[in-house]
Amino acid sequence: MKLRKVTAASAVVLALALSATACSSNDKKDEGSSGGGGKVKVGIKFDQPGLGLKQPDGSFSGFDVDVATYVAKELGYKPAQIEWVETKSAERENALARGDVKFIVATYSINDERKQKVDFAGPYLLAHQDLLVKADSNISKGTDLNGKKLCSVVGSTSAQNVQKSIAPKAALKENAGYSECIAGLQSGAVDAVTTDDSILAGFASQDNYKGQFKLAGLKLSNENYGVGVKKGDTATVDKINSALEKMVGDGSWDAAVKKNFGPAGYKNEPAPKIGDIVK
């Protein structure tokens, strides 16, 4: 009887040990180690050419996509292990808080209000508010917009900044998306489009627009793009910062800028110092 009790107890211990080993193995896969089969969910924009764009064949392209892919690689994930999740501007904080994504690379400007809700790695790009005009346009400074038609999206602070402090006599036209603004610029319905220069350069770099537009280069504001991470996840922030430093150091950052923004004549700022302004 004593022998049977010992044997049964041993079996229970063995079963628990095997169960713990299995859980440990699965956890390791979820972390995306190089040998694991886990996935990582990454938030990007789906509708911004040159930054985050979903192609008709289901693939993704853009500077943010290239940055996110590089970061994921350094975290232990292969491209096939990345699950891209569309994170529109209004939903970015919620997506991180709910755990819908591990991190977000989506023209996510770092500011004090957002830092109360999420943590940031980076910045990985310094953009500026600018104007996109036709290649033969004589608009070269903000005040030239007085009496001109300016386009931006509904609720854009960019257009409001221009009207309030630069060109109060500019006629503002608001559309649902920047694609409509760019089409209006092409047709002559508007004289200029305003938002971040990186976004404008991405649209202007599309094959059907190449050579038609130029950036005015006005640098109307500073927009430091960061990688959004769930509040309190300092370990992931540190890993992403290390990945970004490596991307800048090995030349991959410069190559991604040239590939995604080059056709628009985008005069980018040098890579920002990683870790600045994020705390």
φ, ψ dihedrals at 171, nearest 5°: -90, 115
Q: How far apart are CA 187 and CA 90, in angstroms?
A: 30
Q: What is the pLDDT of residue 68?
A: 98
Q: How far apart are CA 139 and CA 103, in angstroms?
A: 39
In tens digits, the chain (279 residues) has pLDDT values of 444 444 444 444 444 444 444 443 334 344 444 435 699 999 999 989 999 999 999 999 999 999 999 999 999 999 999 999 999 888 999 999 999 999 999 999 998 999 999 999 999 999 999 999 999 999 999 999 999 999 998 767 788 788 888 999 999 998 888 889 999 999 999 999 999 999 999 888 888 888 899 999 899 889 999 999 999 999 999 999 999 999 999 999 999 998 888 766 688 899 999 987 665
CB atoms within 10 A of CB 175: 18
> Chain centroid to CA 1: how far?
67
Amino acid letter, residue 222: N
In DSSP terms, 126 is beta-bridged to 224
DSSP 3-state of 25: helix
Q: By the 8 A CB rule, do 70 and 202 touch? A: no
Listed residue (111, 90, 113, 112) closest to 43, CA to CA: 90
HSE-up of residue 197 (Cα within 13 Å, Cβ side)? 26
Q: By the 8 A CB rule, do 49 and 205 touch? A: yes
Q: What is the pLDDT of residue 5?
A: 45
Q: What is the pLDDT of residue 155?
A: 67
Listed residue (137, 142, 140) closest to 162, CA to CA: 142
Q: What is the pLDDT of residue 78?
A: 97
| Residue 116, both tokens | 């109360």
Q: How far apart are CA 136 and CA 85, in angstroms?
A: 39
Q: How far apart are CA 172 and CA 166, in angstroms?
A: 13
Q: How far apart are CA 167 and CA 46, in angstroms?
A: 32
Q: How far apart are CA 247 and CA 256, in angstroms?
A: 10
**Angle 47-69-178 (CA atoms, 0-180°, nearest 5)?**
15
Q: What is the pLDDT of residue 124?
A: 97
DSSP 3-state of 12: helix
Q: How far apart are CA 114 and CA 224, in angstroms?
A: 12
Q: pTM score, two decimals?
A: 0.78
Q: What is the pLDDT of residue 278?
A: 61
CB atoms within 10 A of CB 235: 9
